[in-house]
Structure 1
Amino acid sequence: MRRFLSCFAAVLLLTSALAGCSNDPPNPNPRASVPLSTVPVDLPRYMGRWYIIANIPYFAERDMVESRAEWKLRDDGKIDDSYYARKKSFDAEEKHYQFLDTPDPAKQNGAWSVQLFWPIRVTQLTLYVDPDYRYTILGYPGKNLGWIFAREPDISDDMYRSLLARLDAMGYDTSRFRRVPQRPDQLGKAGFASPGDKD
């Protein structure tokens, strides 16, 4: 019974976080109410390893460093979605979480139904991918969550600013994004998430 109640509480917490809760600060972006649009995705090119360069911190990814996703296209058209990260320290044991994603052909594979665990599914949107498939932006309809991914763990400051500018044009509050430390020397630097941040 205790395990059931713990799982039920986790489901409620996760659902409220992904749906956008009343604790989220108001979005000051004048384009906040403009709906997000997905972009077409070439799934074979999109697969592989992506490093999480920045995100809007939330409970499941808060305090994570060296985080990345690895996507593998299955024969049935679904995607094995693996998330790896370390909690607070680069010396911590690497955590691994496994999800199952189902791309929507009607959205040219730009929207994925992500099964976090049965029966919970959420919709993840691909908002941008560059022509060389080196950078991508993911989001959720309420704009309370968003991610910048890259094929390499480091990107230039100019590229980071250009990706934030794209998010701003989409109506995101870009002041909420924090860079994810991918190297120990990035911990504590301005603009990077630090363990214990409460955003």
Structure 2
Amino acid sequence: MSSPRNPNPRAANELKLAPSVDLPRYMGRWYIIANIPYFAEKDFVGSYAEWKLRDDGKIDDSYYAHKNSFDAPLKHYQFTDSVVPGSNNADWSVRIFWPIYASQKTLYVDDDYQYTIIGYSDRKLGWIFARSPNISDAKYRELLGRLDEMGYDTSRFRRVPQTPDQIGKPGFHSPGEKD
């Protein structure tokens, strides 16, 4: 299934990485506030990532989430990331499993390292992360505005439920829902 055409007039512009990422400050837990739904994260709630800088310079990338319900067991997936040389730590190569790699591009991180936006050059995938599992609607709209400026079709983003009461609310992923 192909993605719908991106109506954003800035979609053809080059996607720019964050100017630089301070890796030690970037490490730790990041909650997935929103993303463009896709098969690998479909039906997950309470999703978060934990990044840990290793002594060899690589990054341990742990993904945690519950499938369909907060009552479901917490699933854990482990990846290994490497910083792409010359990217000021903003572009990572993620080893999904050998020999499959994906790119993880940090497009924005705020000065306090509380919010970050990660995406792909084709803008078919994107994520909003925060240090806290819940953010204000105003902050969410601000981050969507940044994605819009970057040429993303922000209508495709859905919030990831981080608490049981968010399941089924407008604008959130609905586990079990057909694409």
User: Out of 160, 168, 172, which is 1:180 matched to?
Assistant: 160
What is the percentage of aligned positions where both structures have the same residue?
A: 70
Cα distance in 2, alignment partners of residues 198 and 161 from structure 1: 25
| CA apart distance, 1:23 | 1.3
Spell out, residue by residue over 1:45-102, the C-alpha distance to the aligned partner (whole angstroms, 9 max, x if none): 0000000000000000011000000000001110000000000000001110000000
TM-score (norm 2): 0.98
Indicate the structure (1 or 2) with the bigger Cα radius of gyration: 1
Secondary structure of the equivalent of 2:4?
A: coil
* 1:31 correspondence with 2:17: no
Structure with the larger helix share = 1
May I ask how many residue pairs the two structures share in their alignment? 178
Q: Which residue of 2 aligns with 1:159?
A: 139
Cα distance in 1, alignment partners of residues 172 and 144 from structure 2: 14
Spell out, residue by residue over 1:144-167, the C-alpha distance to the aligned partner (whole angstroms, 9 max, x if none): 000000000000000000000000
TM-score (norm 1): 0.88
Secondary structure of the equivalent of 1:86?
A: strand
Spell out, residue by residue over 1:2-47, the C-alpha distance to the aligned partner (whole angstroms, 9 max, x if none): xxxxxxxxxxxxxxxxxxxx61100000011112111110000000
Q: Which amino acid aligns with 2:67?
A: K
Moved more, 181-190 or 22-31: 22-31
| CA apart distance, 1:198 | 3.1
Q: Which sections of structure 2, spanning at least 5 residues, go unmatched?
A: none
Q: Give the superposed CA RMSD.
A: 0.8
Cα distance in 1, alignment partners of residues 40 and 132 from structure 2: 23
Cα distance in 2, alignment partners of residues 38 and 85 from structure 1: 27
| Structure-2 change in CA distance of 1:34 and 1:198 (3 Å) | farther
Q: Which residue of 1 aligns with 2:41?
A: 61
Cα distance in 2, alignment partners of residues 154 and 113 from structure 1: 28
User: Out of 118, 132, 138, which is 2:112 matched to?
Assistant: 132
| CA apart distance, 1:196 | 2.0
| Structure 1 runs (4+) greater than 6 angstroms displaced | none
Cα distance in 1, alignment partners of residues 114 and 15 from structure 2: 21
